[in-house]
Amino acid sequence: MRNSRRNIFILAAVTSALTANLAPQACFAKSAKTTKATAKVSTPAKSVPQGDSETVIRNQLSSLADAAAKGDAEKMASFFTLDGAYIDEDGVRHEGRQSLKEHFTSHVRPDTKSSLKLEPSNIRIIGNDSAWIEGSTTRQTSAGKHIDARFTMLLQNKGGNWLIQSASETSVRQASAADRLADLNWLVGEWSAEQGDAKVKMTAEKVGDGHFLRLTYVLSRPGNKPRIDIQVIGWDPTRNQIVSWHFDSSGGFGYGNWSKDNNKWLIRAEGIEQSGWQSAATNVITLNNNDSFQWQSIKRNADGVMYPDTEPLTVKRVSQ
């Protein structure tokens, strides 16, 4: 087992990666109560309690979100006044229902894989005829809840129906995979470690515009040909987690899930040897400082056979 890959400290030792973005869509509207009149005597219009108005507005926002999720451009445009205006995320103004319908037709697609909502953070009723709204366009997916955009709206009461006079959206930038990997920026550079007569050199570099980290390991032992293994760290948006893929020079490969606990990284790794053997382990990286870390492999299992934990190994930076 001395020369086996599962005894080599690298390959799942130093890896990570980060993620997904969704495009926002807009929506809005509402209805109110009308005034009553008798056959001979008319009574003054009664003001609608603010609580009732807010409830109706929230229901209309929900209906607008449903129309957007279905890609129903005509229904979305109907929530606006005839001369209503919408300023999109690019700052382009679209005015009038026909123009709005054309814009929504071109930019809004049915979405059955996520839940779109218009969530107001502030609703201010102004008299009986106007309402000012501020809020967020959110989307719920299997990876979690994301804020796509911030919106503002001015609603007008038109004959008992609250319609959007004007609305605007501003996109909220979602964290990229490169952003998710920022916690591993300290890995970039050259590193070395020794274990018995084995020496390992590791080089970590950013690739793919910083969306991935590629780690190259060179293992040297006296009398043996140097062995080169590759590991790639990235971000899995479906799991909302850093992951890694490793490939060794003998034909084996594997996968790791990363999680952080204070100054430690836990990598739950699984692999398949070229021979077909399956292995699993939890690799622990404990950061001492930006120029040194400890590496240890625990809970090691190879084809159902458990192996002892390795001794902590010190890995030192050679250069950045």
Please, what's the b/e burial string for 82-105 (b: 16 or more CB within 10 A of its CB; e: otherwise)? eebbbbbbeeeebebbebbbebbe
pLDDT at 51: 58
Distance CA 252, CA 257 (A): 18
* Contact present, 191 and 202 (Cβ < 8 Å): yes
Residue type, 157: N
pLDDT at 175: 75
**Cα 218 to Cα 127, 145, 226, 312, distances in angstroms:** 73, 41, 6, 20
pLDDT in tens, 213-243: 999 999 999 989 999 999 999 999 878 899 9
Average pLDDT, the chain: 83
pLDDT in tens, 239-290: 889 999 999 998 999 999 999 988 999 999 999 988 898 999 999 999 999 8
Percent of the chain with pLDDT strictly greater than 90: 63
Please determine, for residue 160, whether its predicted confidence score (pLDDT) is greater than 90: no
- Give burial (CB, 10 Å; 0-12/13-18/19+) of 196: exposed
The single-letter DSSP state of residue 67 is H
Most confident region among 11-15, 38-42, 43-47 by mean pLDDT: 43-47
97 membership: H or E segment, kind and range: helix 97-107
pLDDT in tens, 180-209: 899 999 999 999 999 888 999 999 999 999
Domain boundaries 5-19+177-319, corresponding CATH code: 2.40.128.20
- 186 CB contacts (<8 Å, ≥6 apart)? 287, 290
59 membership: H or E segment, kind and range: helix 50-69
Higher-confidence position of 43 and 179: 179
CATH class of 30-40+47-171: alpha beta
pLDDT at 63: 94
Percent of the chain with pLDDT strictly greater than 70: 83
Name the pTM for this structure.
Answer: 0.54
Q: Where are the domains of the chain?
A: 5-19+177-319, 30-40+47-171
